[in-house]
Every structure is written in structure tokens, then in C-alpha cells.
Amino acid sequence: ACNTVLLKVNQVGTISEAFDTVRLAYSKGYGVMPCASRGEGPAIADYAVGLGTGTIRESGLGPAADRFLEIESELGSRAKFLGRAGLKDYSPDA
């Protein structure tokens, strides 16, 4: 059994196809965990925030951690992490 899709954008194809995969996963009750593959680098943080995943799969945060801090700074007071409660019944289309 599983409950999460490991999202590797370079294996899905395009960003649009990755978003379609995420929508399908959420509609079936699965979580999504973006995973940095070749070429994404710190953009993995943008995927996680934009898709509302709440986490990433990364061996070491490094540049991704820096990007998370930049995103928080860009969002200012709009930056919120609601923890598990914020991810329950989340839909990127909502």
C-alpha cells in the first residue's frame, strides 16, 4: 500500500503534466512529495510551495533550504505553514 506520489518532474515530462499528476494524486487521496532530480536544484522548493505539498525529498537541504527562506521573505506576512491540518483535504484547484 502507499499514500504518497514521489514527484520527479523530469520523469513526468512537462511542468503541465506534473501538475496533472499532482491533481490526480490529490483527487485519489494521495500526498505528493517533490523530489529533486537532474537539473531542478533549488526549484524543488518552488514546486513544494506552489503545489502545497508541505515537504520535499532531498538528501541535504542546501540550496533548497535557502530557496525556502527566500520564498518566505517574498511572501512576507502571507507566508503560512499550517502543518498537517493545512494539508488535510487540500486541492490545488481550491
Identify whether 26 is part of a domain. Answer: yes
Identify whether 15 is part of a domain. Answer: yes
Q: CB under 8 Å to 14, separation ≥6 — which residues?
A: none
Identify whether 14 is part of a domain. Answer: yes
Query: What is the structure's pLDDT at 92?
Result: 58
Residues 71-89 have a mean pLDDT of: 73
Identify whether 92 is part of a domain. Answer: no
- pLDDT-derived band at 90 (thresholds 50, 70, 90) equals low
The three cell numbers of residue 21 are 499528476
Domain span at residue 16 reads 4-87
As for how many domains the chain has, the answer is 1
Q: Taking the mean position of all CA atoms in its chain, how far away is CA 21? A: 12
| Amino acid sitting at position 62 | G
**pLDDT tens column, 5-63:** 998 888 888 888 988 988 999 899 998 998 877 667 788 888 888 888 878 887 776 78
Answer whether 0.75 is exceeded by the pTM.
Answer: no
* Least confident span in 12-21, 44-53, 74-83, 85-94: 85-94
